[in-house]
Amino acid sequence: MRLFISFPSPSPSPSLIKDRPSVIMDTLILLFLPLMFVSISGLLLLFSFPNITSEIFSLFIVAISMTSGFCLIPYLYLKIRYRVSLVDIGIKAMSKYDIILMLVVMAFVSSYLLYIGQTTSYIILNGIQMLIVATTEEFWARGAICFLLFKLTKSHWLVIILSSIFFAFFTHLNEPFIENILYRLPGSFVMGIIFVKTRNLLYTILFHFLYNMIMI
């Protein structure tokens, strides 16, 4: 069966040319190093302040560990190795339509959660956390990893499939395998299609945020 979804041709990148084994090694490094850093830094922060258990402090730990591990480390690594810019990874200037789309998504999520009985404080705190999670994980899984995968293959579908598998199973190693297959893999596949089609992380971040807020 043929899938009638057209993708844009890969745009020329100013990054350095690397041989295939080198790109494979870089991909493996960026698959494991960020995950290790997020876990270790989160635990260090948690054990460094054992008497602080507020929800605000939990958000602080999530923000610091995930921003450092999933955004800062991959970007600096690719900057050194390939001289990437944020545009190469999918960070683009927002248009007025993008801002409207963001507001619509936020309004829909808030209205839905209020409708099913969630409190305002829950929506705010959980919304901030899920926005951090969506932004940082998309920067890593769709931005950094897809950047490297496109250097290994010209097949858009292979990039989508591989990045979806990496996200669903590598990022969530501690989650039940069945949950990863039934819940995370389908969502990741959709996010992969969105990113490859648009090359804009904003849209995958919004979908990721919406998916997490509605499904979790």
Q: CA–CA separation, 185 vs 179, rounded Å?
A: 9
Which residue blocks in the chain are alpha helix, DSSP H? 20-48, 55-66, 73-82, 86-89, 96-115, 120-138, 145-152, 156-165, 177-179, 185-198, 201-215
Q: What is the pLDDT of residue 18?
A: 62
Q: What is the pLDDT of residue 12?
A: 44
Q: What is the pLDDT of residue 6?
A: 60
List of the chain residues with pLDDT < 70: 1-18, 216
Taking residue 115's Cβ as centre, other Cβ atoms within 10 Å add up to 8
Q: What is the pLDDT of residue 56?
A: 85
Taking residue 73's Cβ as centre, other Cβ atoms within 10 Å add up to 20
For residue 34, which amino acid is it? P
Q: What is the pLDDT of residue 49?
A: 80
Q: What is the pLDDT of residue 47?
A: 84
**Considering the entire predicted model, what is its pTM?**
0.89
Q: CA–CA separation, 103 vs 101, rounded Å?
A: 5
For residue 2, the SS3 value is coil
Domain boundaries, the chain: 20-215
